[in-house]
Amino acid sequence: MSILAKIAEIENEMARTQKNKATAHHLGLLKARLAKLRRELITPKGGGGGGPGEGFDVAKTGDARIGFVGFPSVGKSTLLSNLAGVYSEVAAYEFTTLTTVPGVIRYKGAKIQLLDLPGIIEGAKDGKGRGRQVIAVARTCNLILIVLDVLKPLLHKKLIEHELEGFGIRLNKQPPNIGFKKKDKGGINFTTTCAQTELDAETVKTILAEYKIHNADITLRGDCTADDLIDVVEGNRVYIPCIYVLNKIDQISIEELDVIYKVAHCVPISAHHRWNFDDLLEKMWDYLQLVRIYTKPKGQLPDYTSPVVLPDGHTAVEDFCLKIHKNLIKELKYALVWGSSVKHNPQKVGKDHVMEDEDVIQLVKK
């Protein structure tokens, strides 16, 4: 029985089962089995390494990477070529783009790599089409733009989200607040810090037993679902922010456009007429959460043209030094920082000081 057949069987059984307290335990078990089979699909067991592929993944350049995901013929390539000035082949038939086409834009001093991924078809997570490679590249992006046709958006949105979820990509979500630690002995130690509506000690034990984990500490610090627990145990989930780009707005009325504008994480554009690109770029910048740090050589004015761009959450002076060169941190005596992260300008700081957007830094070596 193939993996796909097993997955279909479990999905059918889950659809048949009523959801209530008595069956929660059984459903948790099925969900865990399903997650295990999905993982086997993505990373097949054993087998020698195949020969080199025909260059599907692209070397990561720039400060951030944005992937365009969508069904064939929704205007991903038109969007890329109008944003980045890169020629990605455009035609009126489906599946024009066959491999990843990279493009780079400079926005607010940061170099952002845009990837035009081939169209996804239904069943990509099960390895249909080039789906598996497309989603594997999507996992490495800092932000995913799901490009949808404004005339049929909801169906497509659900299908693409389902494909990405099946690959362990979680869109616009935070990692679940669950403490999970394997041990050698002592059984399952299960603690909660607030009331749980779905998980109880019995269900948690069943899910962990499915993964052959019999000794572990589990702490639930929020109201968690069985899926959250499985995500933590699998440990290979990536949490990526996502923007839905509704293309082809030149084909709808103003009233419909007003409705679309109210949807969360959504930007309506027209790739062909280049409408509303500045709104899209601004939203991309918000979701990427990049921090620009300007450098200042001693006795000169700061260089505002080429900032050092760091991801939010890794903006200490130490991270800044490592971004430039790994030996720099050994020679660092202290740094002078001007900007919103310090109390007075300039302030003398050590390597643990966390900087904010558009700070100016001058490093002083030993």
What pLDDT shows up at residue 13? 85
Alpha helices in the chain (DSSP H): 3-16, 21-42, 76-84, 131-139, 153-166, 201-210, 226-234, 254-261, 277-288, 317-324, 328-331
For residue 316, the 8-state DSSP code is B
Encoded tokens for 257: 């456009």
What pLDDT shows up at residue 200? 79
Give the C-alpha separation, 38 to 128, whole Å.
Answer: 14
Encoded tokens for 183: 């041990």
Least Cα distance to 65 among 29, 102, 24 occurs for: 102
Each residue's pLDDT tens digit, 150-167: 777 677 788 888 777 777
Query: What's the predicted TM-score (pTM) here?
Result: 0.71
Instruction: Give Cα separations from 225 to 137, 191, 230 (angstroms).
Output: 28, 15, 9
Each residue's pLDDT tens digit, 27-44: 888 888 888 877 776 665
Give the C-alpha separation, 233 to 211, whole Å.
Answer: 8
DSSP string across 14-63: HHHS--SHHHHHHHHHHHHHHHHHHHHHHS-SS-PPPPP-SS-S----SS
Each residue's pLDDT tens digit, 89-120: 555 444 555 556 677 878 887 888 887 777 66
